[in-house]
Structure formats: C-alpha cells, structure tokens
C-alpha cells in the first residue's frame, strides 16, 4: 500500500486548514497507508481534531517521507521537500494545498508539480502572481460532512441573531466589526462571536454592556449554534474557501459575507445570503434583515442546502482527491 502523509505543523489548534487536513486524511485512508504528521507530541494535539494515536506521527526525521506521497498544507515547508528531492533523491510526490491568497517570498517559494487550489481566486493567485501553469493546478472544493439537519426555523419577528464563528484575529476583523457597527446597528440585531484568538480580550471589552454583541469563547457546538442563529456572518480581509460558509450552507443557514477569496463560490448574492463590500453596506444589510419575509428566508435556506449538495459534500471531495492521487 502506498504511503500518504498529511503534514501540518499547527495541529494544536482548529482552523479551516486543520479541518481540511482531517478531511483529506479520512478521504484517502481506506485506499492508502495514511498518516497525519505534525511537529508536536500527540498529547498536545487539539482534542477536537479527534486524531487517533495510531493515525499520528511526530516528525523527527525528514527522511521518513522517502518514496511516499506528502500532502503539504503550509507553503513555508515546501522548500524542505524540494531539498529532500533535489539534494537527497527521496522520490517524494508532493501535493500542495493552496489554502489562501498568498503574496511575497515569490523567489523562494518552491511550488511542486501538483497543486490543489480550493477556489477560482486561488487559481488566479497561483497563475498570475506565482506564474504557475494552469495544467499543474487541480481545483478541489473544501467539504463538510453532512449531518442531515432539520429544516432551518424561521427567525422571530423583529429579532435577528447572527453567528460569526472564527478565530478572533485581525484577518477575521471581529474587533473592526464591533467598532464600525456600534453606532449603526439597530437593537433588533445581535451578533455572536464564537472563537478564541489574539484579539479575544479586546473584543470582549468592546462588547461589554452592549446587548447587540456577545463573545462566546471557543465552542465545539457550532452546528447547534448555526441551527439556532438566523444568519451566519463573515467579513474577513482575506479568505481561501471558508469552511464556516460551507457549514452554513449545509445547515441551511443564510450567510452575509464580503467578496474575498472564494466566498462568492459559496454564497450567491440574493440566493442563499448576501454579499456586502463596505462597512456602510454591511450595516445597512444587517439592519434590513428584520424585513425579510418568511417565504424569502425559507427560499434562501433551501437554496443554501442545494448549493452544498451540488458542490461541497464529503463524497465529492473524496472522489476528487482519490482521482488526483491515482494520477501521481
């Protein structure tokens, strides 16, 4: 059985990247001798990744990858695998998953022959900025496992709750969202922030005493929250193909987001949510949500499920990765 290693150095946390690491591992493990490789002891892995002890290998010797397929999730490690092949003839087949828009370090970025882009924006970043030939790129959407949720409930009259589930940092802009919306958001709207991160304390202080904003901290029950909340919110500086938006589609929760990365491949404006691109547009759209009819809300919820089933199921994801690996 051919060995396949999924490599990531940040398995102590959960972001979209770590979720994709696990999805790829589960997609290939029945057909290959598959292991997850990290740089930390097994005991320090995030428990919610649910990695079995027999599935994990801590990186100690890079020559362990000889004659294997390695799926790399971080650009900074591509140079290591390039050197292993170039100088030490390790015969490693490298598949690099391009999770987000990247710039800088162009000359020292050693992109391999096989690259997975998760969105059209990722393909554009690779071809236009890094000069990668389109023939070296395979587009594979991220996925979410279907939990077959009950149909989404209709929002209560005059009251809307939105969930923003993401790491609390500058890139996801939670602090900026509160600062820009404090004086513009009506009192029928409430935003829940689920997650932790470097900006959590600042966000918590900004939300204190304001019933329109609430910090929930880290939550492992995001699906339950998405089902209880009326909309999902994401307003980031940069994105790849956000797992959280796919989760919203799977749950039938309409989403509000901006046009960055692959967002508009998941959220189709006016169909399963809304695209807004300025702070004023965001405030206006959020304040208008109480005016959406029950029929329109139900239509958006059902359309989200359709988009999920057409593009983002684990079964489609698995078939795409198995096909790619079979060509190496």
The pLDDT of residue 18: 97
Q: Is 53 exposed, middle or buried (0-12, 13-18, 19+ CB in 10 A)?
A: exposed
Beta-carbon contacts of 144 under 8 Å, excluding residues fewer than 6 positions away, are 243, 246, 247, 249, 250, 308, 312, 313, 314
How far, in Å, CA of 269 to CA of 257, rounded? 9
Contact 248, 301 (CB under 8 A): no
> Per DSSP, which regions of the chain are E strands?
3-7, 33-38, 56-58, 69-72, 93-98, 114-117, 137-139, 160-165, 189-194, 213-217, 231-234, 255-257, 273-275
Secondary structure letter of residue 53 according to DSSP: G
Please list, residue by residue across 89-102, b when 16 or more beta carbons sit within 10 angstroms of its beta carbon and e when fewer do: ebebbbbbbbbbbb
- C-alpha 26, offset from chain centre: 17
Which pLDDT score is estimated for 157?
84
The reply to whether domains 3-143+313-326 and 160-311 share a CATH topology is yes
pTM for this structure? 0.95
On whether the CB atoms of residues 95 and 70 are closer than 8 A, the answer is: yes
Phi, psi of 99 (to 5 degrees): -80, -25
Domain ranges of the chain: 3-143+313-326, 160-311
Cβ atoms 125, 229 nearer than 8 A: no
The β-bridge relationship of strands 56-58 and 137-139 is unpaired
288-309 tens-digit pLDDT: 999 999 999 999 999 999 999 9
Instruction: Write down the pLDDT at residue 275.
Output: 98
Per-residue pLDDT, 303 = 98
Q: Are 218 and 242 in contact (CB under 8 A)?
A: no
| Residue 185 contacts residue 214 (beta carbons within 8 Å) | no
Q: Tell which residue, 27, 17, 188, has the closest CA to residue 118.
A: 17
Residue ranges in the chain modelled with pLDDT below 50: none
CA-atom Rg of the chain in angstroms: 21
CATH 3.40.50.2000 fits 3-143+313-326, yes or no: yes
Residues 264, 266: Cα–Cα separation, whole Å: 5
The residue to which tokens 């547009």 are assigned: 281
> Encoding tokens for residue 255?
């989403």
Closest C-alpha to 100, from 196, 17, 25: 17
Helix (H, G, I), strand (E, B) or coil at 259: coil
pLDDT at 68: 98
Q: Report the mean per-residue pLDDT for the chain.
A: 97
Name the CATH code of domain 160-311 (choices 3.10.20.30, 3.90.230.10, 3.40.50.2000, 1.10.10.10). 3.40.50.2000
pLDDT digits (tens, 9 = 90+) for 246-271: 999 999 999 999 999 999 999 999 99
CA distance 270 to 10: 36
Residue 301: name the closest of 328, 278, 273 by CA: 273
């Amino acid at each position: 059985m051919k060995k396949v290693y999924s490599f990531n150095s940040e398995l102590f946390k959960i972001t979209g990247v770590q979720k994709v690491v696990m999805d790829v591992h589960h997609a290939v493990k029945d057909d290959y001798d598959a292991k997850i490789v990290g740089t930390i002891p097994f005991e320090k892995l995030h428990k919610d990744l649910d990695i079995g002890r027999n599935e994990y290998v801590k990186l100690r010797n890079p020559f362990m990858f000889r004659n294997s397929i390695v799926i790399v999730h971080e650009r900074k490690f591509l140079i290591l695998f390039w050197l292993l092949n170039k100088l030490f003839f390790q015969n490693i087949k490298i598949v690099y998953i391009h999770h987000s828009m990247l710039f800088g370090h162009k000359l020292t970025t050693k992109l391999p022959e096989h690259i997975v882009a998760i969105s059209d924006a990722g393909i554009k970043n690779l071809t236009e900025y890094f000069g990668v030939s389109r023939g070296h790129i395979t587009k594979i959407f991220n996925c979410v496992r279907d939990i077959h949720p009950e149909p989404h409930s209709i929002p209560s009259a005059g009251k809307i709750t939105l969930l923003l589930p993401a790491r609390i940092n500058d890139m996801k802009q939670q602090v900026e969202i509160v600062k820009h919306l404090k004086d513009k958001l009506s009192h029928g709207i409430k935003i829940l922030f689920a997650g932790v991160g470097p900006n959590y304390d600042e966000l918590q202080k900004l939300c204190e005493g304001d019933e329109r904003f609430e910090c929930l901290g880290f939550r492992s029950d995001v699906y339950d929250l998405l089902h209880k909340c009326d909309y999902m919110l994401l307003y980031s500086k940069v994105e790849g193909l956000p797992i959280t938006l796919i989760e919203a589609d799977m749950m039938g929760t309409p989403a509000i987001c901006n046009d960055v990365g692959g967002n508009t491949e998941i959220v189709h404006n006016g169909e399963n949510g809304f695209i807004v691109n300025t702070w004023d547009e965001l405030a206006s759209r959020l304040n208008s949500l109480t005016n959406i009819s029950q029929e329109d809300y139900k239509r958006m919820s059902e359309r989200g499920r359709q988009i999920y089933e057409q593009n983002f199921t684990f079964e489609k994801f698995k078939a795409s990765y198995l096909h790619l690996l079979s060509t190496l």
